[in-house]
């Protein structure tokens, strides 16, 4: 917009200079040289700017509207619950991996005889293993449900089936009524994985039988939950940062 104004001002200054020695009106001069001004064709600078950036502006407007009409879009409590469920899913998937499996992660260097040096390492908890898990782990949230516990009225994110059988906790939950019951949970999972993938690889890449991965990821790194596993209050977090 600034550049447009600058060029328009330069052009009009030139026209005004010619107009000083021109015997007719400014309108006649413009018609004679074939120039149309914004005003002549009804073009608004702000309107042109909006049209040129309408996709970005409409996207920002939609995000603001979504956050206003759907508080769950920025729901820290739900993030905490999904994060802790994600942590458990990662832990379970790692436990299923074959501890004897090896992979060649090649160093890329050449040996003295010209062969590429190899480096065989355990697959379990390797970066390759972690990346494989992160690529598909959020699909399990198609089998989760969001709701509240009937006896405590606390919010819940519960897996419907565990090891082929109905989760006993499922009967305690009053499901949240909405059309995309599971899509929101999967979206939160994918958001967490995308933002904290390096932290997840670091946390789950080490062998520590006593480690509390859920606390490390959801409390220490992401700060979605407090030390007791509850969601972190937004205002309290902002005060801590100040």
At 21 the pLDDT is 61
Q: What is the mean pLDDT of residues 108-121?
A: 69
pLDDT reading at 187 higher than 80: yes
Distance CA 145, CA 218 (A): 20
pTM above 0.85, yes or no: no
Q: In the prediction, which pLDDT does 130 show? A: 95
pLDDT tens column, 60-112: 545 544 444 444 445 889 999 999 999 999 999 999 999 999 988 765 566 66
- Contact between 203 and 129 under an 8 Å Cβ cutoff? The reply is no
Q: Give SS3 for 164.
A: coil
* Confidence at residue 69, expressed as pLDDT on a 0 to 100 scale: 41
d(CA 156, CA 174) in angstroms, rounded, equals: 9
What is the per-residue pLDDT for 124? 94
The residue among 68 and 207 whose pLDDT is bigger is: 207
pLDDT above 90 coverage of the chain, percent? 46
Give counts: helices (H), strands (E), the chain. Answer: 11, 7
Distance CA 176, CA 204 (A): 32
Q: Each residue of 120-134: pLDDT tens digit?
A: 889 999 999 999 999
Measured between alpha carbons, how far is 233 from 224 in angstroms, rounded to an integer?
9
Mean pLDDT of the chain: 77
Q: What burial class does residue 87 get, using C-beta atoms within 10 Å of its C-beta: 0-12 exposed, 13-18 middle, 19+ buried?
A: buried
Which pLDDT belongs to residue 85? 97
Nearest in space to 231 (alpha carbons), one of 91, 92, 63, 71:
71
pLDDT at residue 208 in the model: 84
Least confident of 63-72, 175-184, 189-198, 226-235: 63-72
48-57, 139-148, 154-163: the lowest-pLDDT one: 48-57
| Of 126-130, 139-143, 179-183, 223-227, the least confident | 179-183
What confidence score (pLDDT) does residue 143 get? 92
Strand extents, DSSP E, 116-188? 120-122, 144-149, 155-159, 161-162, 165-166, 173-175
More confident residue, 70 or 5: 5
Report pLDDT for 14: 67
């Amino acid at each position: 917009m600034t550049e447009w104004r600058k060029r328009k001002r330069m052009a009009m200054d030139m026209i005004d200079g010619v107009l000083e020695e021109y015997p007719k009106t400014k309108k006649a001069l413009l018609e004679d040289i074939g120039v149309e001004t914004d005003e002549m064709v009804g073009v608004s600078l702000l309107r042109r700017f909006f049209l040129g950036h309408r996709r970005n502006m409409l996207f920002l407007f939609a995000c603001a509207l979504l956050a206003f009409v759907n508080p769950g879009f920025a729901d820290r409590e739900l993030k905490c619950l999904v994060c802790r469920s994600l942590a458990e899913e990662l832990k379970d998937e790692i436990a299923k991996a074959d501890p004897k499996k090896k992979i060649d992660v090649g160093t890329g260097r050449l040996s003295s005889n010209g062969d590429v040096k190899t480096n065989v390492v355990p697959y379990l908890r390797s970066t390759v293993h972690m990346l494989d898990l992160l690529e598909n782990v959020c699909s399990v949230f198609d089998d989760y449900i969001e709701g509240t516990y009937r006896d405590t009225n606390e919010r819940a994110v519960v897996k419907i089936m565990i090891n082929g059988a109905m989760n006993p906790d499922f009967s305690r939950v009053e499901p949240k009524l909405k059309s995309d019951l599971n899509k929101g949970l999967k979206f939160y999972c994918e958001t967490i994985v995308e933002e904290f993938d390096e932290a997840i690889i670091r946390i789950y890449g080490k062998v520590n039988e006593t480690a509390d991965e859920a606390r490390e990821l959801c409390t220490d790194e992401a700060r979605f939950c407090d030390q007791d596993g509850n969601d972190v209050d937004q205002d309290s977090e902002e005060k801590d940062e100040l």
